[in-house]
Amino acid sequence: MAEQKNAMQKILKGKSFKFGDDISTDLIAPGRYFHLRSNMPELAKHVLEDADMEFAQKVKQGDFIAAGKNFGLGSSREHAPAIIKLAGVGAVLAKSFARIFFRNSINIGLPVLICDTDKIDENDELEIDLGLGLIKNVTKNIELGFKALPDVMIKLLNDGGLVEHITKNKGFNL
Amino acid sequence: MDKTISEKIISSHAGRDVYAGDIAVVDVDVVMAQDGTGPLAVSQLKKMGFEKVKNPTKSIFFIDHASPSPRKELSNSQSVLRNYAKNAGMVLSDVGRGVCHQILVEDFVSPGQIVIGADSHTCTPGALGAFSTGMGSTDIAVGFALSKTWLMVPQTIKINFINEPCKGVYAKDLIIYLIGQITAEGATYKALEFGGSYAKKMTIDDRFTISNMAVEAGAKAGIFESDDITEKFLKSQDRENEYREIRADKNPVYEQTIEIDCSMVEPMISMPHTVDNTCTIGNIGKVRVDQVLIGTCTNGRLIDLRVAADILKGKKVDKNVRLIVVPASKKVYLEAIKEGIIETLIESGAAVQSPGCGPCVGVHQGILGDGEICLSTQNRNFKGRMGNPDSFIYLSSPAVAAYSALKGYISDVREIL
């Protein structure tokens, strides 16, 4: 899995893929592919399959997901944000996130941004400055902010995730 | 400042007073993963260079989600867990022992502890007065390695259950009702503290069912105060010396307080495809069922099987229905056999399976066909949950599930009570 060092210092650019409300972990990483959890690249080919059958084929490195409320509800399966990241998604934007999905995303270095995704449509070109807290919808020529993350989470994202943080600091240093 | 139960427990494990909104690194008492989430935890452990865990007797791998394994990839993943556990001296709960959350409450968790598990329904032991929460594999790997985790102290929503429920209305109905009221994100990031005059009377099994589903409202934890009922349960598991009194302070700050008048609640159904898509049994219409599941960490305990057996005794399940019964643990299974419950269920037409998650997760033991409908006592009915996105899952109490298996469609059990 590609690490994102200094995640908050980067500017991300890509296209947005729009999803609705309540995208569950069963839609992101369906139970019938349970046996592929030991083969993440293979599992990633089925990411979000039951929400959008073609997403896994269409998504390119650096693209974004823009969803409604309660993205990632349901299971604690870390495979859900992991295969989203593996599929190339640079950040997930949503009106709100389910707790465990949100936490897992921070832990694996996948930026999760709470913002008004009504202002983003399918295929909009976005530029996201994580350090400044700004999302620029280039297609619509509008700017939106996202809810600031607590320092602890910024630290984890900057380290590339929890494993990287623990390894670097030989324990917690939050 | 007075504390909620969560603030109290987290403070005692952080080594300082913390309140809602604070972030702390805390000691954890019990750490677990299951066969779906454990292998990733093992690879993260190895990535960090840990071949051993900090607290082996309280570090557990549960093989319950694909148990026994239905295909070789899963068997190989389970081998990873077995090998790591053996080398690290960890506890391994293998095929046939039961669902992780049931074993946790039977054998491992006591009031006042912090428990973290790589499974979203790890909120279940909150019923014993522990702060118990679900996390992902990486968090759990760090929990195994260091016996610590990072936590944001949650705001608490107080739920006061008052008045007795009517006949035919059970704990499952109360929690489905609550989730319908506050929605699937009504308690996101928050702890639910369950109290009120009726909560004090709830059996330990009622509390397990309710705490188990706290996450379906988005909650981080679902906690009951501990009391003599908790103590009695621990005694029944030969763990009475582990009892501690866990109470909130007199006047903590709750984000909000919600009162549930249990006498006004009817048997409830969660309809496809979200848990908060609820309706009363009277409004469900005629819904034919193809499969009924009685079991899981939500409602797979002795009382649940007994309620079902009482309804099914001497009768036969509808010829168009498959009734699948999965006891939540070996202990439950053995007790149910001794009481004659298993015989009654099998005679009525049930297919009884060995303890584990069964068909709940969509991996094996009862995947649905295209267009099929399952009525289940489990906690989640998302699209595709039971292995086929072109199928429909309704949730109910074991009593409604058993009666519906007889009738062939979702039915109001109060008709026969």
Residues of B in contact with A78 (CB under 8 A): 37, 40, 118, 136-138
Listed in order, strand segments (DSSP E) in chain A are 11-18, 64-67, 91-94, 112-114, 125-129, 134-137, 142-145
Report how far apart the first and last C-alpha atoms of chain B are (Å, whole number).
48
Domains located in chain B, CATH noted: 5-261 (3.30.499.10), 269-416 (3.30.499.10)
> pLDDT at position A8, please?
64
Chain B interface includes A124 (CB < 8 A): no
Q: Is the peptide bond before A79 cis (omega within 30 degrees of 0)?
A: no
Chain B interface includes A127 (CB < 8 A): no
Under 8 Å between Cβ of A87 and A44: yes
- Grade residue A7 by pLDDT with cuts at 50, 70 and 90: low
Domains located in chain A, CATH noted: 7-169 (3.20.19.10)
Going residue by residue through chain B, which has 417 residues, state the pLDDT in tens, using 9 for 90 and above: 999 999 999 999 999 999 999 999 999 999 999 999 999 999 999 999 999 999 999 999 999 999 999 999 999 999 999 999 999 999 999 999 999 999 999 999 999 999 999 999 999 999 999 999 999 999 999 999 999 999 999 999 999 999 999 999 999 999 999 999 999 999 999 999 999 999 999 999 999 999 999 999 999 999 999 999 999 999 999 999 999 999 999 999 999 999 999 999 999 999 999 999 999 999 999 999 999 999 999 999 999 999 999 999 999 999 999 999 999 999 999 999 999 999 999 999 999 999 999 999 999 999 999 999 999 999 999 999 999 999 999 999 999 999 999 999 999 999 999
| Token duo for residue B234 | 């621990």
When CB atoms are compared, the residue of B138, B218, B385 closest to A98 is B218
Chain B residue closest in CA terms to A30:
B384
- How many beta-carbon contacts under 8 Å exist across A and B? 146
B19 CB-near residues (< 8 Å, 6+ apart): B1, B3, B7, B153, B253
Q: Where are the alpha helices (DSSP H) in B110-238?
A: 137-146, 171-182, 204-212, 228-236
Residues of A in contact with B383 (CB under 8 A): 24, 26-27, 50
Under 8 Å between Cβ of B8 and B153: no
Chain B interface includes A99 (CB < 8 A): yes
Residue holding tokens 């709830």? B202
Rounded Cα–Cα distance for residues B318 and B331 (Å): 29
Q: How far is A140 from chain B (nearest CA, A)?
A: 30
- Grade residue A9 by pLDDT with cuts at 50, 70 and 90: low
Which of A53, A75, A108, A147 to mutate to probe the B interface, most B CBs <10 Å?
A: A75
Q: What is the pTM of this model?
A: 0.94
Q: Give me the sheet containing B30-34, strands edge to edge.
A: B91-93, B59-62, B30-34, B114-118, B131-134
- For A5: left if phi > 0, alpha if psi spans -120 to 50, otherwise beta; the answer is beta
Contact between B385 and A174 using a beta-carbon 8 Å cutoff: no
Chain B interface includes A141 (CB < 8 A): no
